[in-house]
Amino acid sequence: MPKVKVDGVEIEVPAGATVLQACELAGKEIPRFCYHERLSIAGNCRMCLVEVKPGPPKPQASCALPAADNQEIRTDSEMVKKAREGVMEFLLINHPLDCPICDQGGECDLQDQSMAYGRGGSRYDENKRAVTEKYMGPIVKTVMTRCIQCTRCIRFAEEVAGVPEIGAIYRGENMQITTYLEHAAKSELSGNVVDLCPVGALTSKPYAFEARPWELKKTHAIDVMDAVGTNIRLDSRGRQVLRAVPRINDDVNEEWASDKTRHNVDGLVRKRLDKPYVRKDGKLVAATWNEAFAAIAAVHHGGSVAAIAGDLLDCETMFAGKLLVEKLGGTMLEGRQTGLAYDVSSLGAVNFNTTLNGIETADMILLIGTNLRWEAPLVNTRIRKAIKKGAKVFAVGPEVDLTYKVEWLGNDASLLANLPQAVVEAFGKAARPAMIVGGGVLAKDGAHGDTLALVETLGLIKDQWNGYNVLHFAAARMGGLMLGYAMDGGVRAMAAAAPKLLFSLGADEVDYSAFDSSFKVYIGHHGDKGAHAADVILPGASYAEKAGTYVNLEGRVQYGDKAVFAPGDAREDWSILRALSDALGAKLSFDSFEQLRVEMVKAVPALGVEGLADYGWSIPKLPTGATGEFGSPIKDFYLTNAICRASPTMQHCSAELIHGESFAEAAE
């Protein structure tokens, strides 16, 4: 623990800290461009110069200098001030003065720091360097003349995203940042370089020229594109969400968000259901709320009522739906839309028990039937971190490029019953072994039981360590399971029971042809599969238009806020269910969202506490003996739900990055 003096104040810093970190601990702000907490140190922007004694009598780059005992650091001396002014002047030599037309304006590190640390004016009379724009894909817009070559994007692509496709070519004055041969960066995390870029060189293409940061209303929300529960901030103006950016939460998403999380928001204003519809003579016709309610009330269900919950739902909606179904005399609730019917008698056995933070400390990992890059990109980055610390990864399932070295054992479920001896031995020696069970496993009969049997074989349970993880990819899944949205036999059993009245709560992945005899009421926000099959459509709110409780794949309860109002006649889901209950003569007991939440917490106390829910740990007795190949439940990463299917950006990403269509020229 070295003791250093920062501007005359002595502090103790952790061993291994840099001078920059020491200054920050002392409460001093050090300007920087290339240094970033989550990336390796480059030390090439020189903005973080400070004066350090003992040492050479010149300013030193604090980001790359280890803090040592008895150092005297000055951040406020004349030398430091001059050094910062000098560096800033050099950076601005070739930086264009186009802030008024730059999307970064208002949230630009260079702009802010030149105000704080730069000289008042320019002494530079020569011509500025100009650099041609580079194509980086459908998400990232480039204006490379603005680039100050901090190399954050290069380091992010290589270290975090694992796709070393961005680099610096040529040298000296001609140095340019580009993707390899200007092909699109094939990463599902590419949008993060926009946040990392300290200037306006890399900006968001879909958000280009949309808004200025200071005119946006900022709302804290939870992402629903996958089950990670990325903490996001929705930036909205008026009634439209203009962008989604990640918030920092080290336990969940660190500082990152997948491209789907960031760029689905343009789907929120397209293909929206903004008024109720009733099916008349086989055609859906716009109706009033009262007409729609009357049409539902006319159904003689006799207690044969069911509800299917979609993947994007908040817990409150699911709870209100459950109350309504129960009040009408029904019992059938299901959330696993695609027909999965795995056992849920122990929620611990379908949970990501190691936790997101924990998985990066694992030293031996077995992936089963999962494409982590598509099912949970931010879990994949955690595993990359684990590998950097020395973890080894084995995998059973269809081979995909996970951006790191994996030992593929084959795509055969019978492998689970007899893993190669070498794997079992490797796990035997591991101190923190973990297994991740993907969606492909839950879809296969007996495979869930096989993986649970491996808990014993591989010794996944240790003191303070549970290495058994099931990876869900629906934001509503864990919350739905806590609320009882799972029945024996899944959706197929529900279809076999042929409910007279079926509530589809934003369920768009269900095979509705199995429910031909049911009267289907769709409560949701997009005109997708569920709405097409419905007999009555009640327009609801998307995740951006309602507050809600979400539970991520590790059982972490999180709360999101409402950013904007739903379009047209659409209402928040809980109020629809409340009004509908009145019309059906089965009045629900809550009159406000707060009351609903209180009731929900009363029924499921874990949902009332932010943080990890405790499911306990017990291994249910399940059938084993799966055979055959694992499939991949996600066919197209960019089009997994109704919102992204409506989003032009996601369609573009899918067409270009997955189906290989070329847009490079059309984009210019």
Chain residues in the site for another protein (CB under 8 A): 129-132, 158, 164-171, 174, 179-181
Neighbours of 2 (CB within 10 A): 17
CB of 176 to another protein, least distance (A): 9
- Report the Cα 489 to chain-centroid distance in Å: 30
Least Å distance between CB 165 and another protein? 6
Nearer to another protein, 471 or 657 (CB): 657
7 or 158, CB closer to another protein? 158
Decide whether 179 or 317 has the Cβ nearer to another protein. Answer: 179
At 240, the amino acid letter reads Q
For residue 47, what is the DSSP state?
Answer: T
The DSSP output letter for 520 is: E
606-636: b or e for each residue (b if 16 or more CB lie within 10 Å)?
bbeeeebbebeeeeeebebebeeebebbbeb
Instruction: Tell me the closest approach of the beta carbon of residue 643 to another protein, in angstroms.
Output: 33
User: Residue 666 Cβ, how far from another protein at the closest point, in Å?
Assistant: 18
Q: How far apart are CA 663 and CA 656, in angstroms?
A: 7
Three-state helix/strand/coil letters over 280-344: ECCEEEECCHHHHHHHHHCCCCCCCEEEEECCCCCHHHHHHHHHHHHHCCCCEEECCCCCCCCCC
CB of 251 to another protein, least distance (A): 31
- Rounded distance, CA 410 to CA 537, Å? 45
State which residue, 120 or 172, has the beta carbon closest to another protein: 172
* Closest approach of another protein to the CB of residue 167, in Å: 4
Smaller CB separation from another protein, 318 or 406? 406
Cβ neighbours for 47, distance < 8 A, ≥ 6 positions apart? 31, 32, 33, 34, 84, 87, 88, 91, 113, 117
Nearer to another protein (CB atom), residue 174 or residue 421: 174
Residue 148: CB minimum distance to another protein, A? 17
Residues 6+ apart with CB under 8 A from 297: 583, 584, 585
Rounded least distance, CB 185 to another protein, Å? 10
The nearest distance, CB 645 to another protein, in angstroms, is 33
**658 DSSP 8-state letter:** I
Specify the residue, 179 or 253, whose C-beta has the smaller distance to another protein.
179
Q: By C-beta, is 124 or 170 nearer to another protein?
A: 170
Are 364 and 430 in contact, with CB atoms under 8 Å apart?
A: yes
Instruction: Please identify, using beta-carbon distances, which residue of 184 and 362 lies nearer to another protein.
Output: 184
Whole-number Å distance between alpha carbons of 72 and 491: 68
Min. distance of Cβ 159 from another protein in angstroms?
12
**Least separation in angstroms between CB 175 and another protein:** 9
Take residue 155 and report the two structure tokens written for it.
């380091």
Q: What are phi and psi of 169, to 5 degrees?
A: -110, 165
For residue 376, give every residue at least 6 positions away whose Cβ sits within 8 Å of its Cβ, in sequence order, or none. Answer: 226, 227, 228, 471, 473, 553
Cα–Cα distance for residue pair 45/34, rounded to 1 Å: 6
- Residue whose C-alpha is closest to residue 658's, from 237, 101, 138, 6: 138
Q: Which of 174/513 has CB closer to another protein?
A: 174
- Gap between the Cα atoms of 530 and 128, Å rounded: 56
Residues 319, 599: contact at Cβ < 8 Å?
yes
Residue whose CB is less far from another protein, 155 or 260: 155
